[in-house]
Amino acid sequence: MGEFELIERHFVRATPRAALGPGDDCALLAPAPGQQLAVTSDMLLEGRHFLATVPPVRLGHKALAVNLSDLAACGARPLAFTLALSLPRADEGFAAALARGLFALADAHDVELVGGDTTAGALSLCITAIGEVPAGGALLRSGARAGDQLWVSGHLGDARLALEVFRGHAALPAADFEAVRLAMECPQPRVALGLALRGLASSAIDVSDGLLGDLGHILRRSRVGARLELSALPCSAALAAQPQALRQECLLRGGDDYELLFTAPPHREAAGVAGGVAVTPIGVITAEPGLLAVDHDGRVQALPARGFDHFA
Amino acid sequence: MGEFELIERHFVRATPRAALGPGDDCALLAPAPGQQLAVTSDMLLEGRHFLATVPPVRLGHKALAVNLSDLAACGARPLAFTLALSLPRADEGFAAALARGLFALADAHDVELVGGDTTAGALSLCITAIGEVPAGGALLRSGARAGDQLWVSGHLGDARLALEVFRGHAALPAADFEAVRLAMECPQPRVALGLALRGLASSAIDVSDGLLGDLGHILRRSRVGARLELSALPCSAALAAQPQALRQECLLRGGDDYELLFTAPPHREAAGVAGGVAVTPIGVITAEPGLLAVDHDGRVQALPARGFDHFA
């Protein structure tokens, strides 16, 4: 099977929302009046962003999920995406499973694959996702203000815990391993929450590089500081059962969580936001720059707000 | 130097055309009313799309050029692009040269780098370019009609000739080699020509997979055939001096030309189109499907309209 047949069979589908779908030099989109376009690109490389052991159906899901997560963090509604795919060979079973995972998530969010590129090479996926957001309504990293509450969706650290198991640094009962592995390989982008936070959150980011690193982006862009309650960080039962040092590492510097971290003025009822996922208050924004953490015994320590660096 | 410093220093610049540039979860674009958005993605991998010998300044140019070429083939005006970059290490000299080539071309076409992704890994670049085109005004592959003339811009085959020299299958005088190497490593996207062809061309495509393959896309999408005059194919002096078999291979199946191949009704004066590059009539569209080529002696032969396949 050649390149064009492989694409035609597994990746070309009807695209009723687009003015023109795959098959020409470009796709054409017709944005609604008054909307701005939110654009984000993420590349996933084997060995860097996923392990060779990942089932292809989950890899297809994740490649799109991490991009939809960026749209969610801006409060944008997903519209379309392109996929540049590099595959070692035209393996039809692999391509079919990858497409199944990709389109299951795409259908769940009514977002269309409108174009892209396929090539032979080491396995990698580069997706660019495009969403719509009312002009002036996007959630930015720069809007946090002193006195705002700090919130995070879902729970943190499971993806990192799964990675530690794959690395042989931790061991889990089978059911717990499957649960944290699903968090790592099949993250759920918080699209509905992002939409619900429009007009409510003062700033937002998705947690991809670890809580401290991504919180650091909000603090720097907003020119504020934060006081974080370590005992409030939401945590799965599997992670709660781990030794304290590993648990804290996963919660604070885990990465690959794809939860939304956001700030909101205290009078706004963020706790009741209808985004299909629980949100937890984990601290407060302060006027003084820097990040202070309050531990379980009430002791306060300064933490470096720095995230994962691919070249460090 | 870490990932964030490398990006900040070399790839982050002011983006006055975008509503929001790099640095947040998404970039924000504000499309003009009445415009559709043309979107295209192309990925370049070392060893597949460029050789390890390419100067990084030319690689930066080419990664953007191939995407602008797709916009040109739709008659779209470039607006913004994202870059997902995978680099083996944070090599500042390499990154600086890559950025120089990228931004020189971006500036020439008034298009802005609004976001992207950086990771450590085998050298690859994935660019998604976004352009604007008046609703209903895009040049498509599907509009060719029997009786239309077939045109191509510039000349064909030089990039393939350069590749044959790198492969040791051909030899050239130094000045000729430098010229064809420039065609391979520094293609010029025909953006002005694409804009000038709006309302004039009935179909268009850019020649990236070779003339026969890309003409085949127009013929299949338009459900027509073509009669190609081999003696009319525009050719550089360096390629004209090559043996006939190599010359014809480069002209017909060369690839990496990034010239525009388009059709226009015979009464429209395509010859005088103001796109800053010469255009040459090379044949005619026929009602019967299939591709016939008329050779230098007037003999007619059927040709397979098939292009480069990464998995063949």
Asked whether A131 and A77 are in contact (CB, 8 A), the reply is yes
- pLDDT score for B48: 87
How close, in Å, is residue A233 to chain B by CA atoms?
Answer: 23
| Chain-chain contact of A115 with B48 (C-beta, under 8 angstroms) | no
Is the ipTM value over 0.95, yes or no? no
Distance between CA atoms of residues B74 and B97, nearest Å: 30
Is the Cβ of A116 closer than 8 Å to some Cβ of chain B? yes
A201-213 average pLDDT score: 96
Q: Give dist(CA A40, CA B25) in Å, integer.
A: 7
DSSP class of residue B76 equals P
Whole-number Å distance between alpha carbons of A64 and A60: 7
Cβ-defined contact of B49 to A119 (cutoff 8 Å)? yes
Q: Pick from B114, B119, B312: which is nearest to A310 by CB?
A: B119
CB-based contact B286:B24 (threshold 8 Å): no
**Interchain pair B45, A118: CB under 8 A:** no
- Interface contact flag, A24 B140, Cβ < 8 Å: yes
- Tens of pLDDT, residue by residue over B28-78, are 999 898 999 999 999 999 988 898 899 999 999 999 999 999 999 999 999
Average confidence (pLDDT) over A199-226: 96
Q: What is the DSSP letter of A89?
A: S
B278-308 confidence digits (pLDDT tens)? 999 999 999 999 999 999 889 999 887 666 5
What is residue B282's predicted lDDT score, i.e. its pLDDT?
97
Q: What is the CB neighbour count within 10 angstroms for residue B173?
A: 10
Does the reported pTM lie above 0.90?
A: yes
Q: Which residues of chain B, if any, have pLDDT below 70?
A: 1, 3-4, 305-312
Per-residue model confidence (pLDDT) at position A312: 54
Instruction: Kindly state the average pLDDT of the residues A234-252.
Output: 95
Question: Tell me, what's the pLDDT at B309?
Answer: 61
Average pLDDT, chain A: 93
Interchain contact, B28 vs A39, CB within 8 Å: yes
pLDDT value of position A307: 61
What is the number of other CB atoms lying within 10 angstroms of the CB of residue A232?
14
With beta carbons under 8 A apart, name residues in chain B contacting A38.
26-28
| A47 chain-B contacts, CB cut-off 8 A | 121
B213: closest chain A residue by CA? A4
Q: What is the mean pLDDT of residues A60-66?
A: 97
Question: Given this model, what pLDDT does residue A276 score?
Answer: 86
**What single-letter DSSP state applies at residue B151?**
E
Q: What is the model's pLDDT at position A309?
A: 61
Distances (CA, A) of B200 to A73, B139, B263, B271: 43, 9, 9, 11
Contact A117, B41 (CB under 8 A): yes
Sheet holding B279-286, edge to edge: B203-206, B260-264, B149-153, B279-286, B225-229, B290-294, B300-303
Chain A residue numbers with beta carbons less than 8 Å from the beta carbon of B140 are 20, 24
With cut-offs at 50, 70 and 90, classify the pLDDT of residue A4: low
- pLDDT of B52: 87
**Residue B179 C-alpha, separation from nearest chain A C-alpha, in angstroms:** 27
pLDDT digits (tens, 9 = 90+) for A75-98: 999 999 999 999 988 788 999 999
Test the B interface: residue of A7, A9, A10, A26 with most B CBs within 10 Å: A26
